Amino acid sequence: MVSENQLKDIIEQVINEMGTKGDSKKECNNNLQCDLTRDEELTDITKVDIKEQLLVENPENKEAYLKLKENSPARIGVGRTGSRYKTESLLRFRADHAVAMDAVFTYVSEEYLKEMGWLSIDTQCKDKDEYLTRPDLGRKFGEDAINKIKENCKHKPQVQIYISDGLSSTAIETNAKDTLAAIIQGLNVHGIDVGTPFFVKHGRVPAMDMVSEILEPEVTVVLIGERPGLATAESMSCYMAYKSKVGMPESRRTVISNIHKGGTPAVEAGAHISDIIKKMLEQKASGLDLKL
């Protein structure tokens, strides 16, 4: 059985490895409830670049190991104690999992929507639980939502862009502003008419087909949060379709995914998307029919 003093030593070692400042032994004074976990004494473990972190003790070839890690956010080179993860690796896993959960279950803030000036539209989902268990309701709008779109948005633009939380509010708050601005700037350069941007809460990708039928643009575009993983919770996708209709095959959609700082940066993605939209309008096609 681990004694109290041994347990204190283990706690001190873990916290020191995570970046504590000062002499924790003096602060403890033989009290397990000492103030070792004050925020100002701990680094945010999720801010450590996992690609630069090598937790294998005495690696045979450290340089080759780090070079391998540069090319992947996968959890390689984390070491082990017996058959188990080390404490720091386990804490990082749980921290990243918590970030992913927050991205799914946290809503895009009202302050952000107000700052962007986006009209907010609800699908038929009433909350996050229903959104996750009833994907069909995330593809549909009620009569009130349909009327709200008709009353506040431009009818029959060449391109209609809207934003949806999808499975990551974090992705939207991190990337949507710069991506949307770059898309609109590119379309303006091409002389392409853009409709009224708005926000859809609890939205699934096929909701864009209803938006298309309601506003009748030539091209419908949605910026939507991707399902988060342990590598990032900030990834956003852009789905585009030419004259989409409810029930159309998925092969008619064109998608740009992994829009985030570790994938395609927001501004670069927006410029690329505007060029693709231009080709859609020229070819009157999208998805597998579009020649890029």
The residue among 133 and 16 whose pLDDT is bigger is: 133
- 229/212 Cα distance (integer angstroms): 30
Mean pLDDT of 244-250: 96
In angstroms, the first-to-last Cα distance of the chain is 66
Query: What's 158's DSSP letter?
Result: S
Query: What's 70's DSSP letter?
Result: H
Residue 272 has a pLDDT of 97
DSSP string, 31-68: -TT-S---GGGS--GGGS-GGG----SS-S-HHHHHHH
- 78/54 Cα distance (integer angstroms): 6
Whether residue 21 is predicted with pLDDT greater than 70 in this model: the reply is: no
Tracing tokens 């090598």 back to the chain, one arrives at 54
The residue among 230 and 227 whose pLDDT is bigger is: 227
Q: How confident is the model at residue 248 (pLDDT cuts 50, 70, 90)?
A: very high
The residue among 103 and 251 whose pLDDT is bigger is: 251
Residue 88 has a pLDDT of 85
Domain spans of the chain, in order of start: 4-105, 110-289
Q: How confident is the model at residue 73 (pLDDT cuts 50, 70, 90)?
A: confident
Residue 131 has a pLDDT of 95
The four Cα atoms 202, 250, 155, 139 give a dihedral, to 10 degrees, of: -20
Q: How confident is the model at residue 233 (pLDDT cuts 50, 70, 90)?
A: confident
Residue 97 has a pLDDT of 85
Work out the number of other CB atoms within 10 angstroms of the CB of residue 170.
23
Mean pLDDT of 188-196: 96
Mean pLDDT score across all residues of the chain = 88
- 283/87 Cα distance (integer angstroms): 55
Residue 28 has a pLDDT of 46
Q: Which region, left, alpha or beta, applies to residue 254 given φ > 0 means left and ψ of -120 to 50 means alpha? A: beta
Whether residue 180 is predicted with pLDDT greater than 70 in this model: the reply is: yes
**Which of 3.40.50.720, 3.20.20.70, 3.40.50.11240, 3.20.20.80 is the CATH number of 110-289?**
3.40.50.11240
Whether residue 150 is predicted with pLDDT greater than 60 in this model: the reply is: yes
Give per-residue pLDDT as tens, 34-67: 554 555 566 777 778 888 888 888 888 989 988 8
Give per-residue pLDDT as tens, 91-124: 888 888 888 888 888 999 999 999 999 999 999 9
Tracing tokens 């190991």 back to the chain, one arrives at 65
- Give the angle 273-276-280 at the CA atoms, nearest 5°: 135
Helix, strand, coil fractions of the chain, as percent rounded to 5: 45, 15, 40
Residue 22 has a pLDDT of 45
Give me 159's structure tokens.
């391109």
Q: How confident is the model at residue 6 (pLDDT cuts 50, 70, 90)?
A: low
Residue 254 has a pLDDT of 98
Tracing tokens 């410029």 back to the chain, one arrives at 271
Region of poorest pLDDT, from 13-27, 144-158, 219-233: 13-27
Residue 268 has a pLDDT of 97
The residue among 91 and 205 whose pLDDT is bigger is: 205
Residue 205 has a pLDDT of 97
Percentage of the chain modeled with pLDDT above 70: 87
Residues with Cβ within 8 Å of 184's Cβ and at least 6 positions away in sequence, in order, are: 161, 194, 274
CATH number for the domain whose boundaries are 4-105? 1.10.30.40
